[in-house]
Amino acid sequence: MPIEIDGRVYYRTTEACARAGISRATLFRWLKAGILARRLKDRRGWGIFTDEDLERIRAEARRIQIEYVAAGAADRGDRGGGAT
């Protein structure tokens, strides 16, 4: 369940991952690698994420998915010409 701080909505890590469609391990790996640089924390030191953060997470997931699909097509020798 999102929390509200000073009139702004924030999501805890588990909910952010669920909304973005990635695992917690992936999120923490991206944070550690600096792919997602900004990270806010609540008073307990737990990560919280804004809607803008979720959009960046989703964008990164889409980018990686596109690269994965493109790499798979290249490995199969697909040229994008359709069925023969």
Each domain of the chain, given as residue ranges in start order, spans 3-76
- Residue 11's nearest CA partner among 34, 36, 40 is 40
The reported pLDDT for the residue numbered 68 is 82
User: Over the chain, what is the mean pLDDT?
Assistant: 86
Q: Residues 11, 2: contact at Cβ < 8 Å?
A: yes
User: Does residue 22 surpass a pLDDT of 70?
Assistant: yes
Structure tokens of 47?
């990560």
At 61-71, the pLDDT tens digits run 999 888 888 88
Domain 3-76: which topology? Answer: Multidrug-efflux Transporter Regulator; Chain: A; Domain 2 (1.10.1660)
